[in-house]
A and B are shown apart, each in its own frame.
Chain A
């Protein structure tokens, strides 16, 4: 084979790959996002894309985005971590309480992340080493962390406004929220890891067919453990960022966040019932679609209950579409 032939084969493959991407889940969620933007422009008007509105959407989607992307590796690896919402809350509570007690924020951030690692390792130990069912284990961890948050925060939580952190989490550069840019950056890095590196391919292999992956020499244990730790650490970081954004942490922070995140990720092409599918870009788009719809209803001052109904319907539609595309069929 000559060098010329090799070059020839590369270009069509790239074009074909782009076309395939458009037809796949990333493509359809992309269309959904475009549709949402169009609906927004038609219904709300040009103010929908005004800088202040981008700011509103960006600031509110940024932290869930970061947590979601970090948790998406676990989904890819075939383990669903339901404890991320409570971990966000617990991390926020720890960060808030320790900083309010006077400790240096950087050290406290380190402590919070270490707590995240511990939680992730605990999940991993029971799921991977003891072979327990991920749903049950992470459900238990969700309960433990929520209980601990309620034990710690009994009265009004202290207020900790850390100016540099506040500037990062609520600030904007050229009209786009900093935290959103960071979130998009994280997404791009994650997407790169997933599609371009061997690590990413290993994770997908483990999620797709653990047995085959093991036979191919991939350490299923290591992949799953790392995925669960990344998930918990991502949630811990999310908690820290929330404290930066909101200036405090109540004992109900993060309640239900895991379901919001997974609904958005599923709309974006992931599956909580089978591993090996999903791309971080799809996850980003899924979160943006939900945030966009939320925003349209907000600035039109609609009853927020309708929003939950709409998200529920979209979620069902998304998994239905996924099923038609050859995904999981439940008999």
Chain B
């Protein structure tokens, strides 16, 4: 039995997994994670409010909800991959821009908005299935596969286009500029997606298979779940969701380039980890993910209120990630004794 470098240094314990498991089979875990995030969120917001009372305003709310819209959708895609035991998908920035490009290309050539949206999502799904095929048929580790496809995909995109602009008169663009119930339009699809996907994980057969495969692949296979089919569809689904993110991305970024997705990579992985979704797979609560995405989106706003250089946001986000996994690991170690 080889030690895996990626996951916790404690090997997973077969006895605790197996059987029909819901992603938050121990609901108090999800609650505890949610409370920790809420706690740290308070720890951030209270000092900021003390220093600048106008931190608690609609403007801040708008800023935060806007910032979390696209990273939230991407985080859902990443979460699906992680929960299913696929470790990590490092090629999401490519899926994002590829889908955005597809949507913009469709609009520029005169197709209606709904067609552009579908094409964008399909482009993402196609990208996801490329990853899925290589992982399933090559039986290769997804981290390495998506590392390679991320590199390669970016290179191919750079060969084919330098920049893309969404037509400013298109409905999709106008959607990206509008608001609903006081919050940016693009925020709501993100929330809907998180809620729906979270429900799907718990209550649909596909979702339960996904979680089972992530928790204990051998037991899942013994129960008759096809690992290959599940894994392939996880990557396809994650790609499609990233495709949706790409469509939203094109709606709010009037001009973008192949490398524009790079900034999302770290923040999305951090959000997934902070939400208590273990990289060894098998568990994860998407509502907690919503909280962690929101929390991470608050940091840049807070930094701006303090008047610090935006680079500090990176420092804090990174430090928080280290702290969070440290605490998580410590807790795991203690309960393992």
A–B direct contact (CB < 8 Å)? yes
A-to-B contact residues, CB < 8 Å: 75, 78-80, 122, 125-128, 130-137, 139-148, 150-151, 154, 206-211, 224, 259, 262-263, 266, 271-276, 303, 305-309, 311-313, 315-316, 319-320, 323, 328-331
Query: Given A142, A146, A148, A309, which contacts B156 in the complex, CB threshold below 8 Å?
Result: A309
How many angstroms between the C-alpha atoms of A116 and B320 in the bound complex? 20
List 12 contacting pairs A-B, 8 Å CB cutoff, sorted by A: A126-B322, A131-B332, A132-B8, A132-B325, A132-B330, A135-B7, A139-B269, A273-B87, A276-B3, A312-B155, A319-B138, A330-B142
Known: A130-B330, A142-B318. 8 other contacts (CB 8 A): A131-B10, A132-B329, A151-B311, A275-B5, A309-B151, A309-B155, A316-B138, A320-B138
Given contact pairs A132-B328, A266-B144, A319-B144, A143 touches B266 in the complex (Cβ within 8 A): yes
Shortest distance between the CB of B291 and any CB in chain A (Å): 18
Residues in B lying within 8 Å of A, measured CB to CB: 1-11, 87-88, 134-135, 138-145, 147-149, 151-152, 154-156, 158-159, 217, 221, 227, 266, 269-270, 273, 278-279, 309, 311-322, 325-330, 332-333
Query: Shortest 5 CB-CB distances between A and B: which pairs?
Result: A147-B314, A143-B318, A312-B152, A140-B321, A132-B329
Of A263, A274, A306, the residue contacting B148 (CB under 8 A) is A263
Known: A78-B5, A272-B5, A330-B135. A140 touches B325 (CB 8 A): yes
Q: Which residues of A contact B6 (CB under 8 A)?
A: 80, 133-135, 272-273
Of the candidates A208, A273, A311, A323, which one forms a contact with B139 in the assembled complex, judged by CB atoms under 8 Å apart?
A323
A319 to B321, CA, bound (A): 30
B3 CB contact (under 8 Å) in A147, A148, A208? A208
Instruction: Knowing A140-B322, A209-B3 are in contact, say whether A313-B152 is a contact too (CB < 8 A).
Output: yes
Residues of B within 8 A of A136 (CB): 269, 273, 279, 321, 325
Residues in A with CB closer than 8 Å to B7 are 133, 135
Q: How far is the CA of A134 from the CA of B332 in the complex (A)?
A: 15
**A306:B159 contact, CB within 8 angstroms:** yes
Contacts of A141 in B (CB 8 A): 318, 322
Say how far B15's CB is from chain A's closest CB, in angstroms: 16
Least distance between B134 CB and chain A CB atoms (Å): 7
CA–CA, A160 and B278, complex, Å: 45
A260 and chain B: residue at smallest CB distance: B151
Complex interface: chain A residues within 8 A of B5 (CB): 75, 78-80, 134-135, 271-275
Nearest residue, chain B, Cβ from A144: B318
Chain B nearest Cβ from A22, distance in angstroms: 24
Q: How far is B221's CA from A90's CA once the two chains are assembled, in angstroms?
A: 46
A276 to B2, CA, bound (A): 8
For A133, the chain B residues whose CB sits under 8 A away are 6-8, 273, 278-279, 325, 329
Q: Which residues of B contact A122 (CB under 8 A)?
A: 322
Closest residue to A255 on the B side, CB-wise?
A: B262
Which chain B residues lie closer than 8 Å to A259 at the CB level? 147, 151
- Chain A residues lying within 8 Å of B141, measured Cβ to Cβ, are 273, 319, 328, 330
Contacts A140-B319, A316-B140 given; does A132 touch B313 at CB 8 Å: no
Give Cα A128–Cα B333 distance, bound, in whole angstroms.
11
Q: Is the CB of A208 within 8 A of B2?
A: yes
Q: What distance in Å separates the Cβ of A331 from its nearest Cβ neighbour in chain B?
A: 5
The answer to whether B139 and A329 touch across the interface, beta carbons within 8 angstroms, is yes
Question: Could you tell me the distance between the alpha carbons of A207 and B2 in the complex, rounded to whole angstroms?
Answer: 7
Distance (whole angstroms) from the CB of B294 to the closest CB of chain A: 18
Q: Considering the complex, give the chain A residue whose CB is closest to the CB of B153.
A: A312
Known: A131-B332, A132-B329. A143 touches B270 (CB 8 A): yes
Q: Which of A128, A211, A262, A331 contacts B1 (CB 8 A)?
A: A211
Minimum CB–CB distance from B37 to chain A (whole Å) comes to 16
Task: Tell me the bound Cα distance from A147 to B299 in angstroms.
Answer: 13
Complex-state Cα separation, A320 to B158, whole angstroms? 26
**Which residues of B are found within 8 Å of A273, using beta-carbon distances?**
4-6, 87, 141, 143-144
Closest chain-A Cβ to B103's Cβ sits at a distance in Å of 23
* Residues of A close to B143: CB separation below 8 A: 135, 272-273
* Bound-complex Cα distance A299 to B64 (A): 48
Contact B139 A331 (CB under 8 A): yes
Give A145 to B138 CA distance when docked, in angstroms: 35
What are the residues of chain B within 8 A of A137 when measuring CB–CB? 321-322, 325-326
User: CA A28 – CA B326 in complex, angstroms?
Assistant: 39
* List of B residues within 8 angstroms of A140 by Cβ: 270, 318-322, 325
Q: With contacts A133-B8, A315-B144 known, is A147 near B318, CB below 8 A?
A: yes
